[in-house]
Structure 1
Amino acid sequence: MLGRLWRNRRERAEGIEILRKHEVSVLCVKGPELDLTTAAGRLLAGLLGEVDTFEVEQMSEREQREMRQRVERGLPPTGPRCFGYTADGAELVEDEAAEVKDCFHALLAGATFSGMAADLNERGILNRNGRPWSHNAIRGVLLNERYAGLRQYRGELYPGKWPVIVDEATWREAKHVLEDESRATSPGPARRWLLSGIARCGVCNDGTTVTSGSRGGPKGTRGLTTPLYRCRTTKHLARGTEPIDLTVEEYVIRRLSRPDAVDLLADETAPRTEELRAKTAALRSRISSLTDEFADDDDADAAEFKAATRRIKARLADIEAQMAHPQRTRILVDIVTAEEPTKAWKELTLDRQRAVVVTLATVTLLPGCAGRAPFDPRSVRIEPLQGMG
């Protein structure tokens, strides 16, 4: 009948009126002919359509009641199998559940989506569809309240009675990290070097960070390249990565091997988180206002605009460095509590090593000596963050 055509009341009324104006009739394969140019034909079309709408709404109400009952009884959600659980969602798949738990702990210890996905794929762990893991798939797992024994219904969370993989506090902490605006979440390849996007350019000296690159080897060494850290804005800084990374690694291991390193696990900056969030919001608002003013003012000086925004971004970077990792205990604990800190450092994945560096200090790269002068560690300025010295 008309159910497939006009289940929506508004669409049905609009459709009948349009067909009436154009003197079009409706011929049903099984049912009467509807002459919409007559009042009787329009009445019949409306009645038949209303019956179909009633059946659809009645089915929807029944499904909603059943859904509400499942929620109140604490039963698992229906639908596609959730990684870590059996098809009915009532039991754990132990090896998958262990991977899920590791992902939560890795995130809170500073790991990135790309790093976690690469690790799973390298070990041959496939997702629930039998495919390799991606950035978005990892994010979906970490935001899924089901792993904490919760389910969402009409915007509210309800407790479930299926086995949990992580406790609610861990899930909420992970959710807080993922919703932090200062966290970069765009998909992309995993970082290859310790300090790319972290270390700052000492020539710009305004918070501009360095990126990684390479240059060709000496003449006659075809195919050989040297990895570099370069300023991401101009060509005034290009430094070899290896001695710089070693210098920073030595600083990290030395700092976390000291007897007082355990004091770093007591995060005294946590109570200031809300204050720092307010400051970052105010600075972002200033940048937005400056951008609007520049766009509306035809006589605005581009150089002055760039200088002003760079200064604000430098302040923003300092504040974000203090609040980017409120879970610093999780980031540092594996090294601080290890019997051999050097070994513990080397066993961390690169993204977790990067998180340790960001948590401890600001690294600024200064220009190196010209020619073939030996590496000077003083050209790498390492400044401990507040409370990290």
Structure 2
Amino acid sequence: MTTTMLPLTEKFLLTGREYLRVSKDRSGRMKSITQQHDDNARSANQHGITLLEPYTEHEAVSASRYARKARDEFAILMADLETGRFGADVLVLWESSRGSRRVGEWATMLDLLEDGEKLVHVTSHGRTYDPANPRDRRSLIDDANDSEYESAKTALRIRRDMAARAAEGRPHGVCPYGLRPLHDARTGRLITWEADPDKAPVIVELFERIRKGHSFKALERDFAARGIVNRRGKPFSGPHLREMATKAVYAGYRLYKGELIEGTWEPIVDRALYWDVQRILSEPAHKTRAQRPGRVRYEYTMIVRCDVCGGPVGIRLHRGRGEYMCQDKGCVRITKADVDQIIEGAILGYLSRPDVYEELVSRNDSVEVATVTAELAKLRAELQKAENESPMTVAEARMFARLIEDLTPKVADAETRLRELTTPGDLVALIEPGADVAKHWKAAPVSARRKVAAILLTPEHLGEVRIARSPVRYRWTPAAERLVWRRAE
């Protein structure tokens, strides 16, 4: 069923449908869809083919196995060939690589064309091929082999270039908020990134306020009220601010395949501050909805407990004053202000001790902390990459699901280990050497004070605080006599 140039008397006896696609390659031969169609129309006219409705990819998508996006129109073409809805005699391609740069995919298409007794016209060849003809089929398969080989060479070169740039710490991708690109004045090529004088202070403030215990919801409201907006001119959302707070780029790092590499740009956030924030974000209070900062009004509720039943203590108003009261059974009641004064005095006295500062802060400077921190950063990067992948097939989806399932507990284990090795950032921010701890405590948001209380009011530190019943019923007893401090033996 091989066809060649038809006599003039037999012109336009065949119908054809084009598959039009613009690739992402930067070769000089790349043509627009309109240019491809014009070439196809001239060639079809010479070979007696009447063109019908084309299959047109409206986005530039690759036909290689390295493609990230699916070719929607190609999938429709394959389905039409398989079900007999193709509705023409000839598939018209500007060049064979427009169809596919994957040998297996190309061979499948040729099989469907042969089964349906369809032809392939390649405009750049000036020929019409019959997939049922062994010589024609071999020519088309050879083209596919060549296209796949060129794609593989290009992909390898790109990977090598990317690896080389990563090893040098050179910037990659879209320049993030807070930085700006620095180009060579003569060539226009990107040299590195540098701090944006208008936006970098916003990033520094973001990190500093997170370390002080401010919630993302509070930061979102404050930035919006001050007119601080993202590049699209819209207010920052809490989730966006959280994502920005995890970016190693602000600490001068280039992230490549989970590895942190020294960047060629200067950090706009001090690295000690960056790692403090990463530790804070990995703490349980930033993981569960109930414990998120900004969702609590009191420092010690649900931390202080009833000494009678062991249940949590909450707040109630009685005659215009706040009282702590057993939440479960109402076993105990006591004036809130009296208890708060005692607990706050114990916390501030403890944090003001020089030996406490030395003992707690020194835990953050060990080699083991640095090792676990680096491993956690790598695992988080791998997990984020797996979660953001767009699988092309069911097999790929299953593979990424297994990878996510494997990485998630590893990230959790590393976070737990880091918490065991380090002092939480909220605590570090309150006990800076030479600082007025009481002043910092008053200035800190309730969410930060609550997190510190949850750490210190435990048997391992100051002791778990419990409220006992008054020894004599209906007689007032000082709060100091009713507080029980349960410490570890």
TM-score by length of 2: 0.51
**Residue 193 of structure 1 pairs with residue 287 of structure 2:** no
Identity value in percent: 20
* Structure-1 residue corresponding to 2:454: 358
- 1:345 aligned partner: 441
The whole-number CA distance in structure 2 between the counterparts of 1:186 and 1:131 is 27
The one of 155, 158, 171 equivalent to 1:60 is: 155
Shift of 1:377: 4.5
Report the CA distance shift for 1:48/1:248 in structure 2 as closer, same or farther (over 3 A).
farther
1:150: how far off?
Answer: 1.4
Where structure 2 has 5 or more consecutive residues not aligned to the other structure, the ranges are 1-94, 183-191, 373-416, 459-463
Residue 4 of structure 1 deviates from its aligned partner by: 4.3
TM-aligned CA deviation for residue 85 of structure 1: 0.7
Q: What SS does structure 2 have at the residue aligned with 1:91? A: strand
Task: Determine helix, strand or coil for the equivalent of 1:86.
Answer: strand
Does the aligned pair in 1 maintain the 2:213–2:445 contact within 8 Å?
Answer: no
Identify the match of residue 261 of structure 1 among 341, 349, 353.
353
Separation in 2, partners of 1:196, 1:47:
75
The letter for the 1-side match of 2:205 is D
**Pick from 329, 333, 339: which aligns with 2:431?**
333
Q: Spell out, residue by residue over 1:89-113, the C-alpha distance to the aligned partner (whole angstroms, 9 max, x if none).
A: 6221234323323333344444444
Q: Which whole-Å CA distance do the structure 1 matches of 2:322 and 2:107 have between them? A: 68
SS of structure 2 residue aligned to 1:42: helix
SS at match of 1:78: coil
Q: Is it true that 1:154 corresponds to 2:249 in the alignment?
A: no
State the alpha-carbon separation in 2 of the partners of residues 271 and 189 from structure 1: 25
Relative to 1, partners in 2 of residues 1:161 and 1:50: Cα closer, same or farther, differing over 3 Å? same
Question: How far off is 1:337 after superposition?
Answer: 1.9
- Answer with 1 or 2: which has the greater Rg: 2
Distance 1:112 1:271, change over 3 A: same
The more displaced of 344-353 and 156-165 is 344-353
RMSD: 5.0
Structure 1 residue 87 displacement after superposition: 4.1
User: Which piece of structure 1 moves more, 360-369 or 99-108?
Assistant: 360-369
1:126 aligns with 2:244: no
Correspondence 1:141 to 2:236: no
**Which residue of 2 is the match for residue 83 of structure 1?**
177
Q: Is the 8 A contact 1:149 1:160 kept in 2?
A: yes
AA in 1 matched with 2:148: T
Q: Which moved more, 1:372-381 or 1:81-90?
A: 372-381
Cα offset, 1:164, TM superposition = 0.8
Distance in 2 of aligned mates of 1:357 and 1:336: 21
Aligned to 1:94: 197
2:84 alignment counterpart: none
2-11 vs 254-263, greater mean Cα deviation: 254-263
3-state SS of 1:345 partner:
helix
| Cα distance in 2 between the residues matched to 1:238 and 1:119 | 41
Q: Relative to structure 1, is the Cα distance of residues 159 and 134 closer, same or farther in structure 2, using a 3 angstrom cutoff?
A: same
Deviation at 1:44, TM superposition (A): 3.1
Measure how far apart 1:82 and its partner are. Answer: 0.9
User: Equivalent residue for 2:344?
Assistant: 252
Q: Which has the higher contact order (CA 8 A, sep 6+)?
A: 1
> What residue identity is the alignment partner of 1:194?
Y
The alignment partner of 2:193 has SS state of coil
Q: CA deviation at 1:162?
A: 1.0
Quickly say closer, same or farther: Cα 1:201–1:263, change in 2 above 3 A.
same
Secondary structure of 1:157's aligned partner: strand
- Equivalents in 2 of 1:65, 1:135: separation in Å? 37
Residues 187-240 of structure 1: per-residue CA shift (max 9 Å, x gap): 67831412488525538966x76789x99x99xxxxxx9999998xx8646999
Count of residue correspondences: 326
1:318-349 CA-partner distances (Å, limit 9, x unpaired): x99987844465232269722xx554333222
Compute the TM-score of the two structures, normalised by the length of structure 1: 0.62
Greater displacement, 348-357 / 326-335: 326-335
CA 1:134/1:39 → structure 2, altered by over 3 Å: closer, same or farther?
A: same
AA paired with 1:50? N
Match of 1:184 among 286, 305, 328: 286
